[in-house]
Amino acid sequence: MRDGTRIATDDEQPGRVALRRRVVIKLLHPQHAGREDVADRLRLEAQAIATLGPRTPHVVQVLDYGRTGAGRPYIVMERVEGRTLEEEIAERGALPPDKAVGIAVQILDGLAAAHAAGIVHRDVKPDNVFLCPAPGGGHTVKLLDFGLAKIARDLSGEGGPTPLVKPTEPGTVMGSPLYFSPEQAKGGPATPSSDLYSTGIVLYTMLAGRPPRPIRRRLRVRTHRAPVPHLPVRLP
């Protein structure tokens, strides 16, 4: 994961009644322990997922959020069985159209709940789509990693997440290059449409067994075409 460590464990702690429930703990990496901006983003992720939990079955459930005795923030989430869509494609290659469309529809259902709550995921990609085996066959899709999520408005009054204390600077590129939208590639603001664009690329990847190669080439061209900043003749 990007800024933390995931630990799978049983829900048994001294002083608490053992619930015999397997959970995953997302703990901020020690190298980021002193960075309040990174800690605040983990807080935002926890609040975003908790907001969506009652609205859709297509996100993992947050069970707790807090800080360790050393001050490192953590999220406790349900532990789900299965594997990521990226792992599924790596093993099977291109998926049958009906399966690919079924997965895409569930991704869109989860995103619809997020967008209705004023949350933009900003990092929809196969590695953030988890496939849980469903009774009777098929899969239940769970969206993972809201660590780059954007809050469109202050939702604290509605029981939702509050925006970051230090907002993302304009022009910052957020997301995964093979899957993000053109406006994200240019450092522009992400919108719900950005998530839909990324989902379209995920659908293409499921049907083709690989992401669209031209995306990679266009990004390289855009990088090389970026204007060179002016440098003064003398530096102080």
Helix residue ranges per DSSP H, the chain:
36-52, 85-92, 97-116, 182-185, 192-208, 213-225
Whether residue 85 lies inside any domain: the answer is yes
Neighbours of 75 (CB within 10 A): 26
Give the total number of structural domains in the chain: 1
109, 123, 127, 195: which one is catalytic? 123
What is the Cα–Cα distance from 32 to 163, expressed in whole angstroms? 20
What is the Cα–Cα distance from 61 to 147, expressed in whole angstroms? 15
Whether residue 120 lies inside any domain: the answer is yes
Query: Range of 76's domain?
Result: 4-225
Whether residue 235 lies inside any domain: the answer is no
Counting Cα atoms < 13 Å in the Cβ hemisphere of 135 gives 0
- 123 classed as catalytic: yes
Q: Is 8 helix (H, G, I), strand (E, B) or coil?
A: strand
**Amino acid sitting at position 225:** R
User: Per-residue pLDDT for the chain (236 aa), expressed as one digit of tens each?
Assistant: 445 455 454 554 544 445 667 888 888 887 776 777 778 878 888 888 888 888 899 998 888 888 888 888 888 988 889 999 999 999 999 999 999 999 999 999 999 999 988 889 989 999 999 999 988 888 999 999 887 778 765 554 555 556 544 445 554 555 578 888 888 877 788 889 999 999 999 999 999 999 886 555 455 545 445 555 565 566 44
Whether residue 33 lies inside any domain: the answer is yes
Rounded to 5°, angle at Cα 156 from 21 and 166: 95
What is the Cα–Cα distance from 196 to 85, expressed in whole angstroms? 17
Looking at the chain, how many residues does it have? 236
Whether residue 234 lies inside any domain: the answer is no
Whether residue 233 lies inside any domain: the answer is no
Whether residue 133 lies inside any domain: the answer is yes
Whether residue 10 lies inside any domain: the answer is yes
Are the C-beta atoms of residues 23 and 11 closer than 8 Å to each other? yes
What is the Cα–Cα distance from 141 to 30, expressed in whole angstroms? 31
pTM: 0.75
Q: What is the CATH number of the domain that holds 66?
A: 1.10.510.10
**Amino acid sitting at position 1:** M
Q: For 176, phi and psi rounded to 5 degrees?
A: -110, 120
